[in-house]
Structure 1
């Protein structure tokens, strides 16, 4: 029987009347569609995925006066990849090992702590969590052992739980934050490296009852199944074909269309599943009522590089010939920046793309369809070794880009000058075991000789289609999401020196920095209380960022490891 830990911090406080039901404002569909500037209700701030706050109190002129207001340890190591979610006086932070912490947003006092006990024998490639979702009077957390749980927002008490996947038989696990749309909690699993066939599930937010399931790899006879092998040795490859949907999507509330990113193929080697392999490495538009696929765009076909397309594109409007045109923009792991059109019904159309980091695989891209042509020598296959750039971590890994409607710029956390050499093999699929078709102990990361930098931030004009500025890090990769503000400040972590930084959003000039106890790989967020603006970020290095740090120690003499250990930091302007 599962055990649940609700550690009191607040049980006594509630009993004493410190916090009453009136203190928590229920989160409605209307609030999610138009979140108040003083709150941070979604992982990326709004349904469009902008990672942008309309708050303007902190400016390029005064940001140097930022000071810590409070901090709190999470009592957990490993990689902390969840933002602080804020609704009034309540801040919610999820951590590795199935934990959710609720704080008083203003003071940092712990209100309650919930932790779902890890099952005996459980293991996953990435022991992390990327955030909670809010709706009504509940907080929703997807646990790494394949459960979705609804908690009472005021007390942390478990209200209901439902199984998303079976980690023992499916080999799946969950790192994604859920997305709540119209009273449905939507989430998908990770596990492409274990041969999981990707899917999304939607649950009734009140009861936990399953509403619908949508697989990203079609079964025989379904639209798109013709892009998978129909006969021969690989005819059943669709059953374990990958395409896990392990990052939260975005939502067009006006037209009632969800946009979701689909991950890499499984195994990684495309010759073991010949064909275009829809809907791997794609963006899907979906009907939130039933999960039906409306349209798609595939960034690259027959994925063979682990270039997952899991980040949903940002919803924007392009200024085209004096008219506003609904669109999508996305810096993809394959190193290309994509401009896509979307209509009111959710149809997706390719407009253009351009490299933002070096790509040695694409020899050309069809200007009408966006379909790339490949250098076959740079495509790993069974019993074949190939080197390609960027490496499997891509031009941008999972961290979120940010869009500022006032500057008209898209801000991209990027990594360049890194490549990968892989040798393919056939691996049997055994539940719970690595089966990506490459030896996990022989992932050969390569960095360019005398590389000028690897990590950095790029700012691109959404309408102009040009890079406006960039910041680069010679001695660090960038693993951090970005927050931008209406006043023209950009906040970012992501570097191995543990610093949290503020830049001028128009010029890229460094304005402020603060060292935290560990590195920052979580998205920053912003909120205000009683007219005072706060910036929140969770520090806690780990997972891929730490693994790469070790590789860079071997290749370039960097420090072998970054200190781990999670802590929440909240900043505001000093007097």
Structure 2
């Protein structure tokens, strides 16, 4: 795509220039020093884990707020605070970026993106920034990728990645790898063919672009059968790469998650449909796809595999240790995979972590599911299935703690939906109109058992492949990404009671909780300034969590659902009292 330089004095409010900004290098990103939080998930492996332990299971009950900062914005705040040498960056809905002193909360600058006045997208959120060199990179809902001067917030250059007018808007945090900034758009509900694009960090020129749905002559294209009313379904088959990936720096391989098929109904695009609902391995220099694993074929449930699997070296497979990949997927199954260091991905095992009535079983050798077709959505028939289209776990990040050997999963069980699939011959794909094959008013969301709750925090031993403990939140969904620490703590929010909680990482005991101004659906993070540890999280309810909570609360007859969750973004920072 094109790139150009921009004069952006009118886009940035500069309160104070950041002096002596510490350059972010490839080495620093690999090392992931615990005092910083340079990547959205903390490290390239995607662990959401901090080595800091000043705050621990013995003293976390003393945790107290030390400063807050209002974003002055509504809607869903889903970005982590990212910290570089005492400077905090937070991206917000509507594509603001706020730079703050991470110790005091004082503002350095605020960037306001110049989105088109007639912009219309499904989700107006942002899930983070990329830090590289002396710049901050933020994607826009208008499909742009923007390079900002880290010291002042001035926009230096911009690349047009996606076209929001056809549905290719961007909510993802970009990923920095070796001088390239990688990002993909959303659009699976609009008939957009998904892709990942690499932008040169210095010039904002395109380095490479790789589609998630292979075209003619490319491996995997044969999995899109030329049958039915849409023999060219691959051209608008979805597969959005709308979340940041993970990176194996030793082997120099990217791992990325690929989203749902488009339209949602698989019978309108026959075949396995690679690389929809898959994890793929890629060459970061060229974008070439080197390997893949598809969790379920011909995705018909909107069970996007959007989060890349976590990289865990030394994962046990029986008596041997392997380079592993572990991922709790939206389809409600936890997957253990092996990577060979060259891009090949092999199945080891899969186990359900919430109820799934669409899969009868997984093949023990390949993991390929056998379907119960009573629960596979099709055109012209109302079909119900569990878990719901939001999955056993949606986009919120899980966490892996190498000290406990456990993975902490923000799960939702007992929630289902039904709809009647339709053939949308009155809407053109990639026209900027909703094209999922259903009418949203026809979507029915409900609990499988009205007496039971939904949201959970689950802890799984990744080597024993078994659940160790579970905390049930009751009548609320859980939209809270998870942070675990070397202090034997698991932090998470995401429930409609507005609580930020700290769990004992080994036992699941709730050790501390604090009511925020709004439900926090952003990742909590840990960092250190001048030898003192802090925990930061941004509260701000909105988008899918807000919609689903309203639907379920309206159906509740027990009086236990909290329907009225306040909105409004606030950055919260906590620490232990000074001695």
TM-score with structure 2 length normalisation?
Answer: 0.96
Q: Indicate conservation of the 8 Å contact 1:417/1:451, yes or no.
A: no
Give the distance between the partners of 2:228 and 2:498, measured in 1 at CA. Answer: 52
Q: Indicate conservation of the 8 Å contact 1:4/1:114, yes or no.
A: no
Q: CA deviation at 1:2?
A: 9.7
**Cα offsets for 1:406-453 (capped at 9, x unmatched):** 100000000000111110101132511111000012111011233322
Secondary structure of the 1:57 match is: coil
Q: Indicate conservation of the 8 Å contact 1:80/1:542, yes or no.
A: yes
Alpha carbon RMSD of aligned pairs, Å? 1.3
* Structure 1 gap segments, 5+ residues each: none
Give the distance between the partners of 2:127 and 2:228, measured in 1 at CA. Answer: 40
Note closer, same or farther for the CA distance 1:561–1:429 as it changes in structure 2 (3 Å cut).
Answer: farther
Q: CA deviation at 1:3?
A: 7.0
Task: Find out whether 1:243 has 2:239 as its counterpart.
Answer: yes
The residue correspondences of 1:308-319 to structure 2 (distance < 5 A) are 308-317=304-313, 318-319=315-316
- 1:445 corresponds in structure 2 to 445
Give the distance between the partners of 2:550 and 2:69, measured in 1 at CA. Answer: 28
Give the distance between the partners of 1:420 and 1:315, measured in 2 at CA. Answer: 32
Q: CA deviation at 1:127?
A: 1.0
**Cα offsets for 1:147-199 (capped at 9, x unmatched):** 0001011110111110001112x321101000011110000000110011000
- 2:221 corresponds in structure 1 to 225
- 1:193 corresponds in structure 2 to 189
- For these two proteins, the number of residue pairs brought into alignment is 566
Q: CA deviation at 1:475?
A: 2.0
- 1:515 corresponds in structure 2 to 515
Task: Find out whether 1:434 has 2:437 as its counterpart.
Answer: no
Give the distance between the partners of 2:33 and 2:8, measured in 1 at CA. Answer: 37
Q: CA deviation at 1:231?
A: 4.6
* Structure 2 gap segments, 5+ residues each: 1-5
- 2:567 corresponds in structure 1 to 564
The residue correspondences of 1:113-192 to structure 2 (distance < 5 A) are 113-168=110-165, 170-192=166-188
**Cα offsets for 1:472-527 (capped at 9, x unmatched):** 11121100100000121010000001111100000000000111111000001110
Secondary structure of the 1:194 match is: coil
Q: CA deviation at 1:559?
A: 3.1
Secondary structure of the 1:193 match is: coil
**Cα offsets for 1:322-347 (capped at 9, x unmatched):** 65310100000000000000011121
Q: Indicate conservation of the 8 Å contact 1:85/1:91, yes or no.
A: yes
Task: Find out whether 1:424 has 2:427 as its counterpart.
Answer: no
Task: Find out whether 1:52 has 2:49 as its counterpart.
Answer: yes
Q: Give the counterpart of 1:371 among 359, 368, 371.
A: 368
**Cα offsets for 1:73-128 (capped at 9, x unmatched):** 00110000000000012100000001000000100001000011220211111110
- 2:3 corresponds in structure 1 to none
Secondary structure of the 1:506 match is: coil
Give the distance between the partners of 1:524 and 1:5, measured in 2 at CA. Answer: 32
Q: Indicate conservation of the 8 Å contact 1:409/1:462, yes or no.
A: yes
Give the distance between the partners of 1:231 and 1:31, measured in 2 at CA. Answer: 50
Secondary structure of the 1:553 match is: helix
Q: Give the counterpart of 1:382 among 367, 376, 379.
A: 379
Q: Indicate conservation of the 8 Å contact 2:240/2:259, yes or no.
A: yes
Secondary structure of the 2:94 match is: coil
Give the distance between the partners of 1:3 and 1:38, measured in 2 at CA. Answer: 31
Q: Indicate conservation of the 8 Å contact 1:5/1:116, yes or no.
A: no
Give the distance between the partners of 2:428 and 2:345, measured in 1 at CA. Answer: 34
Give the distance between the partners of 2:146 and 2:266, measured in 1 at CA. Answer: 36
**Cα offsets for 1:373-393 (capped at 9, x unmatched):** 101111111101111000100
The residue correspondences of 1:286-301 to structure 2 (distance < 5 A) are 286-301=282-297
Task: Find out whether 1:409 has 2:406 as its counterpart.
Answer: yes
Task: Find out whether 1:574 has 2:570 as its counterpart.
Answer: no
Q: Give the counterpart of 2:97 among 90, 96, 100.
A: 100
Note closer, same or farther for the CA distance 1:453–1:8 as it changes in structure 2 (3 Å cut).
Answer: same
Give the distance between the partners of 2:115 and 2:9, measured in 1 at CA. Answer: 10
TM-score with structure 1 length normalisation?
Answer: 0.97
Task: Find out whether 1:70 has 2:67 as its counterpart.
Answer: yes
Secondary structure of the 1:131 match is: coil
